[in-house]
Amino acid sequence: MNGLSNEMKRRFSWFLAAWLVPVLALFALAQPAGAEAQPPQPTPPDDEVNAIASQLYCPVCENIPLDVCPTQACIEWRELIREKLAAGWSGEQIEEYFVEQYGDRVLAEPPRRGLNWLVYVLPPLLILAGAGVLVYVLRSMRLRAAIPSSAAMPPIPKTSNDPFVQRLEEEVRRREME
Amino acid sequence: MNETGRQPKAVSAWMYVLAFGTLLAFLALVGWSLFRRQQGAVEVGKPAPAFTLTSFDGQVIDSAALAGRVVVVHFWASWCEPCENEAVLMEAAWQAYREGGEVVFLGVDYSDTEKKALEFIRRFGVTYPNGADLRTTISQAYHISGVPETYFIDRDGLLAYRQIGPFLSTGEIRAVVDILLSQ
């Protein structure tokens, strides 16, 4: 009786081992990679969430930064940022995620690609061109001011004794000098 | 010759061309951008914009592959209150047609979080395919003005009807679909 009981115990032990080993192995494999490397992080504070939200715009409201947007949708997006931060995402990764989900319009600054480059290139170019025009106009004004007035006109050579013709020529020269 | 020995130079023609050319190019760019922004909704009777929707369960749906069937494209969001009642109506309408296979309902989740969208779908028992409008490309193609909006595409791929705002009964939805099925 006792021998039979020992045999049963031995079989039961083998049975347990045969089942437990693969089950435990499967359980270990099912754990996400790096789960030990990233312990659960504390809930990120509002300041940290808002620092990222301020760099993003509400996808459905016009021109309202996400950190000050009062709508229910924006509250959910701020919660999403909090969840991503708690999961260890960086601000850059979160911004990329938002762009992937809702498009470039959520960014406070247009991404530097395609026609968006005009936003960055045109203003400095226009300022430079404006400065050039200003310098040119000022220089022209200075040169005009330096031109002598009619009082300093050169003497009029006498080409005719007719006083009318002389007056006419003098008038023409003066107008040419102006 | 003046005192400085210099005369003010005349502005050369190429400078005028450059200045006015830049100005015109800039104005054209602004005009083009405004034109794109101000474009109204897709016109009824015109081809409906084609799109690809990846549903929340991973199914990739190409609208071009649905030719020959009536397609109902429903734009919604979990944060949209009128969408809640309409979700029930849409599902009821879908149940009326799902067996026939001639009608396809697609839910396009506009500017939403996946978590809230899935909660919404579960809460209202929506069973037809729904997916996120990634980068808002589909809503931009249809020039939607908000949610909810619903677009009905006929068997030829032409936009047959659009509903701005919510439907108030399943009968309204079915009336539109039945007309398109009878054509």
Q: List CB contacts of A98: < 8 A, sequence separation 6 or more.
A: A56, A59, A77, A106, A107
What is the pTM (predicted TM-score) of this model?
Answer: 0.69
ipTM of the complex: 0.77
Q: What residues of chain A lie within 8 A of the CB of B135, using their CB?
A: 99-104
Instruction: Classify residue A178 by its DSSP letter.
Output: -
- Mean pLDDT over the full length of chain B: 92
Question: A72 contacts in B (CB within 8 Å)?
Answer: 79
Q: At A6, list the tokens.
A: 């020992």
8 Å CB contact of A101 and B29: no
- Residue A110 has a pLDDT of 85
Query: Measured between CB atoms, which of A77, A118, A143 is closest to B6?
Result: A143
Residues of A with CB under 8 A from a CB of B: 59-60, 71-73, 76-77, 80, 99-105, 115, 118, 122, 129, 136, 139-140, 143-144, 146-148
Cα separation, B77 vs B80, whole angstroms = 5
Backbone angles phi, psi at B159, to 5 degrees: -70, 120
Q: Fill in the amino acid letter for B148.
A: P
pLDDT score of A39 more than 60: no
From CA B151, how far away is CA B94, in angstroms rounded? 14
Helix, strand or coil, per DSSP, at residue B52: strand
Within 10 angstroms of residue A143's Cβ, the number of other Cβ atoms is: 16
What is the interface size between A and B, counted as CB pairs within 8 Å? 53
What per-residue confidence (pLDDT) applies to A33? 42
What's the mean per-residue pLDDT of chain A? Answer: 79
- Percent of chain B's residues with pLDDT above 90: 77
Q: Which residues pair with B103 in a beta bridge?
A: B70
- Give contacts of A129 with chain B, Cβ < 8 Å: 19, 22
The total number of residues shown for chain B amounts to: 183
